[in-house]
Structure 1
Amino acid sequence: MKRLTKTFVLAALLHAGLACAAVAVAPSDKHLLYTGRIDFAQPDAPVITWPNTAIAGNFTGTSLSVTLDDEKGKNYFNVFIDGDTASPLIIEAAQGSKKYDVIAGLAPGKHSFLITKRTEGEEGATVFRGLELADGGQMLAPPARPKRRIEFFGDSITSGMGDEAPMNGRDDVGRDKNSYLSYAGITARALNAELHQTSQSGIGVMISWFPFTMPDFYDQLSAVGNNDTRWDFAHWTPDVVVVNLLQNDRWLIGDRHQLQPEPDDAGRIAAYETFVKRIRQLYPKAYIVCALGSMDATKPGSQWPGYIKSAVEDMRKGGDQRIDTVFFPFTGYGQHPRLKHQRDNAEILTAFIKKKMNW
C-alpha cells in the first residue's frame, strides 16, 4: 500500500509538471508580424541577417522566452515589452542554438513584444527558432502593419554603428551598434512607416573597405557578405527610398586614393547616378531622397554633395521629378554619429519627407 501511494504521488507530480509546461510558439505562427528581408525558405527556421529586421506580436501570459540559433555569436537583439522602447532587454546571442528567458513576472493579461536586430550582416546570420510563453499563455492577433513603406540604402551611418558608444570612446564595439536608434529607424517610426534597412558598415558605391560595393549587395536576400541570394523586389515596394552613400568612397578615394585608375568627377557622378537609376527601375513610383552625411563627406568645401546634386539634376532633366537631395550637416565630430546626431539627422529627414509626401 505504501508503494502504491508513492507511485500515485509521483504520477500526480509528473501530471502537474506537464500541466505547467511552457507554451511553444512556432516561427510560422500566423500571429507573428515580421518586417524586413527575411529568408523564409524554411518557414519554421526563418533566417534574419539585415539590421533592424523585426518580429512583433501580442500575447497573454506572465513570461516570454526567445530561441535563436546564431551563426557567429556576435549578434545583438533588442526586445521591447509592452511598448517600452526606452528600456530594451538586450540579447547577446551566443553561437549556436539557445533559449533566452527574456522576461518573467508579467501581470496576467495582454502584452506585446518587439524584437529587432541591432547588428548587421557582418555579424552573421541568425535563425529564429520560436518563442515560449508561460503556461496558459497564447498568441493574440498581431499588430497592424503600417501602410506607409520606406527603404534605406546606406552604410555605417544608416546601420547605427557606434551610436550608443560614449562620445569619447571607441565606436566599433558590437554592443554599441543599435540600428533601431539610427536616423533610419527613428525616421521610419516618426512617419509610421514600415522599414527595410538595406545597409552595411564600410560599404560604398565605387569602393568599400572590403571587396564588394552596394551595387553588388543591394539585391541580396542575405546580408552576410557578397553572396548569390536574391531578394524579390516585387515582394515589397516602398513609397520612399533614401540613399545615403559615398562617405566610404570619400575616404577611400578622396583621402587614400585606393581605387585605381582613380575616377574623375564625371566618373564619380556617373557611378552614383547608375546606382540610383537602378533603384528607380525597381521602384518607378517611389520618391527617392539622395542623402549624405552627417560625417565629413558633408564638411564645408567637400566636393561629394556636389556629385550627388549633379546626378540628381541629370535625372531630373531626363524626366524624373520624384527625386531630391538632403544633406545632413557635418558637426565636426570625427567619429560615427552618436544618438544625438542620429536624432538630429532624423528630425531633418522626417520634416523633409512629411512635406514632400504630404504625410
Structure 2
Amino acid sequence: MKFKTVLAALLLAGQTLAGVTVQPDDAQLQYTGRIDFADRARPMLSWPGTSIEGNFSGASLAVKLDDQLGKNFFNVYIDGDLARPVVIEAAQGGKTYAVASALGPGAHRFLITKRTDGEEGGTVFQGLELADGGKLLPPPARKRRHIEFFGDSITTGMGNESPDDGPDHLLKDKNNFMSYSSITARALDAEAHIISQSGIGVMISWFPFTMPDFYDQLSAVGNNDSRWDFTSWTPDVVVINLFQNDRWLIDREHRLSPAPDDGQRVQAYRTFVQKLRALYPKAYIVCALGSMDAVQEGSKWPGYVRTAVDQLRQGGDRRIDTIVFPWTGFGGHPRVKQHQANAAQLTAFIRQKMGW
C-alpha cells in the first residue's frame, strides 16, 4: 500500500503563515509513547509508533518538526481517515509541513505517528500552525487499556510497505502504524508503547547493544544513559517478539564464540522476561516469535521460548504464555498482509486471555 509523501515542495520554508501557533507544551495536545520531555517546549520523539493527537478548529493544519538526521517519516491522519495518511518525509533541521487545507467548518481531529525507529534518529516536535481563527480543542479521551511491545524490525514494521519482490531496507517503506503491534493495539482499543529496534536481539544484535541494554531507555537513539520512568505508565499486557536476530547471528553468522548451548539460550531469554515481570507484576506477558525464519520448520528457536515460559510457569508465574506466528515461506520482512494476519492471531489470543 503506497501513500502520498509530503515532498520538499510542501515545505513552507520562507513563507509567512497568517495563522495560529500551537506550542508543543499546550495541555490539550495528547502525547503517547516514551517521549523525552526534558524540555517541555522541545519534546523529542524517537520510538516507533510514538504519537501526538488532538482536536482543532480551522481550515488548515501544518506540523513543525526539527529532525535530527533527516531520515524519519511520519504519518498524519485527519478526521480519522486511517486509509489515507499524509506522509511526512522529514528533512534535517526545523521545517514546517502543510498537511491539511480547505477543511470544512467545525471540529477536526489529527493524529501524528512516527513510522520509523530510533536508528533514524530523534525528532523534536515544534508545534502546529492552524488557520487564522483556528484553535486547539479538548483532546479525545485516553484509552484505558495499555499494551507494551518489545521487539525488533518485525515489531517496528521494517519493509512492510515494500512490494513482495522489492527491497526491505528503504526507509519510506517502514511504517509502524501498519505493523502487527500497532494493528493489534487498535483492534483492542488499547494505547501502545512500542519498544523496538531493527536488528536487535537478546544475546547479540547487529550492533553493540542488546534489548536487555535497551529496554529501559527513554530515548531510542542508540545505546544511551537516558532512563524511562516505569511508574509513569503501566501495561496490562506485554508482548515480547525477539530472537530472530539471535538466530541469524548465532546460527548463521557465527558471531558468538563459543556459541551458547540450548540451556544458555533459554536462560538468556528467561532472564530478560524476569526483568519485565519484576517491573510489571500484574501484566499478562505474551512471549511471541515470528513470522520470519526463526519459526520455520525444524527451527529450535520457538522451543527455546516455550521452554523459558514453561520454566517460569513452573516457578509460579501463571500470567504468561507463548504464541508463534506461522512461517509463510516468505524470505523477507513481513509485508502488511502478513502483519494483518499476525495481528488477527494476536488480537484473538489477547482477547481470550484478558477477557477483552
- Whether TM-score is above 0.5 comes out as yes
Residue aligning to 2:181 = 184
1:221 maps onto 2:238 in alignment: no
Give 2:226's aligned amino acid: T
SS in 2 for 1:312: helix
TM-score scaled by length of structure 1: 0.94
Cα distance in 1 for residues equivalent to 2:233 and 2:251: 36
Give 2:29's aligned amino acid: L
Cα distance in 2 for residues equivalent to 1:254 and 1:269: 15
Which of 341, 346, 351 is the matching residue for 1:349? Answer: 346
1:107 maps onto 2:98 in alignment: no
SS in 2 for 1:252: helix
Residue aligning to 1:266 = 263
SS in 2 for 1:221: coil
1:142 maps onto 2:175 in alignment: no
Residue aligning to 2:230 = 233
Residue aligning to 2:311 = 314
For 1:153-302, list aligned pairs within 5 A: 153-302=150-299
Aligned residues: 341
Residue aligning to 2:35 = 38
SS in 2 for 1:238: coil
1:339 maps onto 2:323 in alignment: no
SS in 2 for 1:233: coil
SS in 2 for 1:281: helix
Measured after TM superposition, the shift of residue 260 of structure 1 is 1.2
Whichever structure has more helix as a proportion of its residues is 1
Q: Which runs of 4+ in 1 moved over 3 A?
A: none
Which sits farther off after the overlay, 158-167 or 102-111?
Answer: 102-111
Residue aligning to 2:323 = 326
Cα distance in 1 for residues equivalent to 2:88 and 2:100: 11
SS in 1 for 2:88: strand
SS in 2 for 1:356: helix
For 1:67-82, list aligned pairs within 5 A: 67-82=64-79
SS in 1 for 2:231: helix
Which sits farther off after the overlay, 322-331 or 253-262?
Answer: 253-262
SS in 2 for 1:122: helix
SS in 2 for 1:112: strand
Cα distance in 2 for residues equivalent to 1:156 and 1:125: 17
Cα distance in 1 for residues equivalent to 2:346 and 2:162: 23
TM-score scaled by length of structure 2: 0.95
Cα distance in 2 for residues equivalent to 1:284 and 1:261: 35
Measured after TM superposition, the shift of residue 101 of structure 1 is 1.0
Cα distance in 1 for residues equivalent to 2:255 and 2:320: 31
Measured after TM superposition, the shift of residue 261 of structure 1 is 1.7
Work out which of the two has the higher radius of gyration on C-alpha atoms and give 1 or 2: 1
Cα distance in 1 for residues equivalent to 2:32 and 2:185: 12
Measured after TM superposition, the shift of residue 85 of structure 1 is 0.4
Which of 83, 91, 94 is the matching residue for 2:80? Answer: 83
Cα distance in 2 for residues equivalent to 1:75 and 1:143: 26
Give 1:343's aligned amino acid: Q
Measured after TM superposition, the shift of residue 102 of structure 1 is 1.1
Residue aligning to 1:152 = 149
Q: Which runs of 5+ in 2 are unaligned?
A: 1-15
Measured after TM superposition, the shift of residue 254 of structure 1 is 1.3
Residue aligning to 2:3 = none
Give 1:121's aligned amino acid: G
Cα distance in 2 for residues equivalent to 1:262 and 1:302: 16
Which of 98, 123, 126 is the matching residue for 1:129? Answer: 126
Give 2:249's aligned amino acid: L
Cα distance in 1 for residues equivalent to 2:287 and 2:117: 22
Query: RMSD over aligned Cα, in angstroms?
Result: 0.9
Measured after TM superposition, the shift of residue 319 of structure 1 is 0.4
Q: Which deviations, in whole Å up to 9, do the C-alpha atoms of 1:316-352 show, x marking residues without a partner?
A: 0110000000000000000000001000000000000
Measured after TM superposition, the shift of residue 253 of structure 1 is 0.5
Measured after TM superposition, the shift of residue 189 of structure 1 is 0.2
Measured after TM superposition, the shift of residue 257 of structure 1 is 1.3
Residue aligning to 1:92 = 89
Q: Which deviations, in whole Å up to 9, do the C-alpha atoms of 1:121-149 show, x marking residues without a partner?
A: 00001000000100000111101110000
Measured after TM superposition, the shift of residue 21 of structure 1 is 2.7
1:22 maps onto 2:25 in alignment: no
SS in 1 for 2:184: helix
Cα distance in 2 for residues equivalent to 1:42 and 1:214: 27
SS in 1 for 2:263: helix
